[in-house]
């Protein structure tokens, strides 16, 4: 879900063999098509391990330690009327799955931070894991903004003082 909001896919986090093998659908690889109308590479098919929207335009990719978005080009070995897989796109553009991040074109920049909360830590007599996602628009579009960490501390602190009532 965070990929859908941020428009950034950390490719290493989507390489879990177990997660891919558990997918019930036949789509096992993220695939792309070339859209001549907007002169862009767009997402065509999405397996369950990627949280992106079909039709999202690819802006480029990030190398680790750099904020520059490097442009992606369509593989020269594939006709623009055909479909291209993520593996083929990575090979043609020198993208490394272990370290690089695919960047989609979004109207504005958002950051996300997932917080896992166990209810037993907050005075409830049961164990239930809940995941909350904190979403914010960073100052000056800085994708390295760590506001989510501070929000996590505030959210968890607030949960400790919330009054719980039993009816």
Q: What is the pLDDT of residue 91?
A: 92
Ranked by mean pLDDT, which of 63-67, 91-95, 125-129, 160-164 comes out on top?
91-95
**pLDDT class for 158, splitting at 50, 70, 90?**
low
Task: Decide if 166 is inside a domain.
Answer: no
* Same domain membership, residue 155 and residue 115: yes
pLDDT at position 23: 52
Specify the pLDDT at position 18: 45
Same domain, 31 and 79: yes
Structural domain includes residue 37:
yes
Give the number of domains in the chain. Answer: 2
Q: b/e string for 48-82 if b means 16 or more Cβ within 10 A? A: ebbebeeebbbbbbbeeeeeeeeebebbeebeeee
Q: Tens of pLDDT along 46-60?
A: 887 777 888 888 888
Lookup: tokens for 53: 């929207």
Residues 83, 129, single domain; the answer is: no
- Do 99 and 23 belong together in one domain? yes
Q: pLDDT value at position 82?
A: 92
Do 54 and 39 fall within a single domain? yes
Rg (CA), the chain: 19
pLDDT at residue 157, rounded to an integer: 62
Residue 17's domain comprises 2-104
Q: Which residue has the higher pLDDT, 130 or 154?
A: 130
How far apart CA 123 and CA 129 sit, in angstroms, is 14
Summarize the confidence of residues 65-80 as an average pLDDT. 87
Question: In 3-state terms, what secondary structure has residue 39?
Answer: coil
One domain for residues 119 and 55? no
- What is the C-alpha separation between 106 and 93, in angstroms, rounded? 21
Query: 151 CB contacts (<8 Å, ≥6 apart)?
Result: 113, 134, 136
pTM for this model (two decimals): 0.67
């Amino acid at each position: 879900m965070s990929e859908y909001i941020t428009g950034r896919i950390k490719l290493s986090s989507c390489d879990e063999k177990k997660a891919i093998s558990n997918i019930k659908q036949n789509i096992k690889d993220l695939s792309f098509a070339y859209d001549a109308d907007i002169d862009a590479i767009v997402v065509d098919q999405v397996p369950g391990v990627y949280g992106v929207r079909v039709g999202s335009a690819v802006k480029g990719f990030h190398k680790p330690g750099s904020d520059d978005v490097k442009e992606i080009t369509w593989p020269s070995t594939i006709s623009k009327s055909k479909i291209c897989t993520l593996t083929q796109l990575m090979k043609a553009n020198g993208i490394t799955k272990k370290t690089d991040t695919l960047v989609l074109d979004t109207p504005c920049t958002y950051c996300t931070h997932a917080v896992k909360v166990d209810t037993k830590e907050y005075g409830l007599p049961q164990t239930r894991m809940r995941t909350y996602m904190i979403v914010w628009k960073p100052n000056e579009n800085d994708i390295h903004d760590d506001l989510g960490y501070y929000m996590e501390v505030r959210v968890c602190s607030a949960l400790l003082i919330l009054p719980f009532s039993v009816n």
